[in-house]
Amino acid sequence: FESGSLTGARVVITAGPTREAIDPVRYISNHSSGKMGYALAEAARDAGAQVTLISGPVNLPAPERVQVIDVVSARDMLEASLARMGHCDIFIASAAVADYRPLSPEAQKIKKSGETVELTLIKNPDVVATIAAHEQRPFTVGFAAETQDVDSYARGKLVAKKLDMIVANDVSRNDIGFNSDMNAVSVFWNENQQSFAPRSKTGLAIELIELIAHRYQHYNDN
């Protein structure tokens, strides 16, 4: 028996997209597959952590020996995350949370009528920023999907959301990232950065968990 780099750590990971209801049969969402978050959950489990995956709707099997909490909307994801906060050492936000939701979803299916239809959207709560804003907070890792100026936007989010680390990927490339099995990222923390060339999401997840475990150890020692 070999003990891993996260033995005893309680890790909560958000993954996948969220769905925001327009009416009982329609929603707003995005193309997140959840693959990166699920791969991180397996890698954290294999590193010895006790893992909870808070997952939006995805087409992936639940990883073995990982507690999966299924959620639909951003507000469900926030509620589930807050409920786990007191039992969490490391919070990793890989979910592609919808930034906005329909202000007042209709109780009945919207009928086809005019040529255009207007939908008013309201900002969703920011799950990872809400967690990071707490005084008794876990070591918090965010993700940033950017299409331009990846480094500066990612660093901006690291500071604005009070994260301990941020993992940035360039989603303007369609060979990697969203819905792909491959990903390439740069990770930022304090004044440091580490880049990972394109590789499989499962391989990348193992390396990201190693780096996160290393930084988490350092954070605990200080």
What is the set of active-site residues? 30
Does position 101 interact with ligand C5P (CB under 6 A)? The reply is no
Q: Which of 33, 142, 183, 211 binds ligand C5P (CB under 6 A)?
A: 142
Does position 212 interact with ligand C5P (CB under 6 A)? The reply is no
**For residue 133, which amino acid is it?**
A
For residue 61, say whether it is annotated as part of any ligand binding site. no
Stretches 55-63, 91-99, 104-112, 172-180: which one binds ligand C5P (CB under 6 A)?
91-99
Contact positions with ligand C5P (CB under 6 A) in 1-20: 14
For residue 157, say whether it is annotated as part of any ligand binding site. yes
CA atoms within 13 A on the CB side of 210: 8
Q: Which of 126, 132, 158, 170 binds ligand C5P (CB under 6 A)?
A: 126
Strand-strand pairing, 139-146 and 165-170: parallel
For residue 128, say whether it is annotated as part of any ligand binding site. yes
Which of these, 149, 191, 146, 181, lies nearest to 167 by C-alpha position?
A: 146
Distance CA 103, CA 123 (A): 9
Q: Which of 124, 140, 169, 183 binds ligand C5P (CB under 6 A)?
A: 124
Q: Which of 47, 53, 74, 212 binds ligand C5P (CB under 6 A)?
A: 74
Q: How far is the CB of 163 from ligand C5P (least distance, A)?
A: 8
3-state SS assignment for residue 131: helix
Q: Which of 97, 158, 165, 205 binds ligand C5P (CB under 6 A)?
A: 97
Measured CA distances, 8 to 49, 84, 154, 155, 192 (Å): 6, 16, 30, 30, 27
Does position 36 interact with ligand C5P (CB under 6 A)? The reply is no
Q: Is 34 within 8 Å of 181 (Cβ atoms)? A: no
Measured CA distances, 181 to 34, 36, 48, 70, 78 (Å): 11, 8, 24, 22, 27
CA atoms within 13 A on the CB side of 39: 19
Does position 47 interact with ligand C5P (CB under 6 A)? The reply is no
For residue 109, say whether it is annotated as part of any ligand binding site. yes
Q: How far is the CB of 30 from ligand C5P (least distance, A)?
A: 10
Q: Which residues contact ligand C5P by CB under 6 A?
A: 14, 74, 93, 95, 97, 99, 124, 126-128, 142-144, 157
